[in-house]
Amino acid sequence: MEKILKLIKKYNRIIIFGHVRPDGDCIGSQYGLYHIIKDSFPNKEVYVSGEVSDYCKFIGAPTMIDDSLFKGSLAICVDIANSERVSDQRYKNCDYVLKIDHHPSVEEYGDYNYVDSNSPACAQILTEFYDKFKNELVMSKEAATALYVGLNTDTGRFKFDSVKSKTFNIAALLLDKGVDLSYVDNNLSVESLNSLKFKGYVLSNFKMTPNGFAYIIVKKETIKEFGVSNEEAANQVTAISTINTCPSWAMFIEYDNEIRIRLRSRGPIINTLAEKYKGGGHPKAAGASLDSWDDLDKFLSDIDNLVKKYKKNNA
């Protein structure tokens, strides 16, 4: 972490990058770090690059950055395991690239990598960074709120088994900096009427493999029919998370150029399987991709066998 602080002090222009289809931890980490740097070093230029998340736009929304600003800048890539998932590939044009992440390391990219795969959220790493250098850094209410959203969402509201006592200590630190819990909850808990109707579609149309893997297939035309965004559709993967006979579940969602798998578990270790399908992630929350729907049966067979072994070993 000393290296991270030295780099931040060294560069006068810093651009913070997120991943494609950003989640709460990505946006929370980007804006939490943005506010920490900007408030601690007011004379520095600090930018946030990436895609907008409707779910977390109450924290902030990145804007387009001119090409001329990358040269001479420090790039900080947060919550991004591999380089192809950086949403703005112009990060390569920066003078120095720093990666800060909590996913199991699948690729070292850039010039310096700080990875703590024991942390349940990138936002926790950044809060620990602040706490280590709190005599030199400033944590505003805005920074704390952003980081709390990242911590809250990537831990499933503190219910995943990656949560340890340290996570609650980190949450307490952020609350002491002014986080308004009702404000955060009011923004994270509401959804559009179209999204609620789409949830009904998911609950009415999901399928199960013989050994208890629950899944829902979502085609592009279905998303259009319900009038929801890709992000709203993807968030409904949790709709089928509570079936007591299904320790693993997923949403297969069709985009313009890929079929993305949002894969989840409360038992089987799934990230190793995800890595076989151009993905990766955490042991119980991962993502993967299919080249075409022709590959679906093979994936379903693989995950069904994984669930079968898990149930046999835990009978």
Q: Does residue 178 sit in the same domain as residue 212?
A: no
Q: How many domains does the chain have?
A: 2
- Distance from chain centroid for Cα 155: 10
Per-residue confidence band for 160, with pLDDT thresholds at 50, 70 and 90:
confident
- Tell me which of 188, 203, 232 is where a domain ends: 188
34 and 174, same domain (yes or no)? yes
Q: Which residue would you say has higher pLDDT here, 53 or 124?
A: 124
d(CA 79, CA 119): 11
List all residues 6 or more positions away from 213 whose beta carbon is below 8 Å from its beta carbon.
246, 248, 249, 250, 300, 303, 304, 307
pTM, two decimal places: 0.86
Comparing CA positions, the residue from 78, 147, 87, 88 lying closest to residue 114 is: 78
Give pLDDT, residue 227: 95
Tell me the pLDDT band of 177, cut-offs 50, 70 and 90. Answer: very high
Domain co-membership, 224 together with 261: yes
Are both 168 and 225 inside the same structural domain?
no
What's the per-residue H, E or C state across 117-184? Answer: CCCCCHHHHHHHHHHHCCCCCCCCHHHHHHHHHHHHHHCCCCCCCCCCHHHHHHHHHHHHCCCCHHHH
pLDDT tens-digit readout, 87-119 = 999 999 999 999 999 998 878 999 999 999 999
Based on the fold, state whether residues 120 and 201 are members of the same structural domain. Answer: no
pLDDT digits (tens, 9 = 90+) for 211-240: 999 999 999 999 999 999 988 999 899 999
d(CA 5, CA 187): 32
pLDDT of residue 106: 79
Q: Provide the residue range defining the domain that includes 90.
A: 2-188
Q: How many CB atoms lie within 10 A of CB 181?
A: 12
- Same domain assignment for residues 71 and 179: yes
Instruction: Assess contact for 99 and 80: CB atoms under 8 A.
Output: yes
Query: What CATH code is carried by the domain that includes residue 154?
Result: 3.90.1640.10
Instruction: CATH number of the domain at 208, please.
Output: 3.10.310.30
Reported as a pLDDT band with limits 50, 70 and 90, residue 309 is very high
- Give yes or no: residues 173 and 230 share one domain: no
Residue that is last in its domain, among 135, 167, 188: 188
Which residues lie closer than 8 Å to 109 by C-beta, 6 or more apart?
77, 82, 83, 97, 99
Q: How far is 114 from 112, CA to CA, in rounded Å?
A: 7
**Same domain? 19 vs 119:** yes
Same domain flag for 184 and 283: no
Both tokens of residue 152?
């809250």
Q: Which of 188, 208, 239 is the last residue of a domain?
A: 188
Q: Are strands 74-78 and 259-265 parallel, antiparallel or unpaired?
A: unpaired
pLDDT one-digit tens code per residue, 117-159: 999 999 999 999 999 999 999 999 999 999 999 999 989 888 8
The answer on 158 and 305 residing in a single domain is no
β-pair partners for 208: 214
Beta strands 259-265; 248-254: pairing state: antiparallel
Check whether residue 215 and residue 90 sit in a common domain: no
Rounded to whole angstroms, how far apart are CA atoms 28 and 304? 34
19, 134: one domain: yes
Tell me if residue 294 falls in helix, strand or coil. helix
Dump pLDDT digits (tens) for 38-48: 999 999 999 99
Phi then psi for residue 286, to 5 deg, are -145, 170
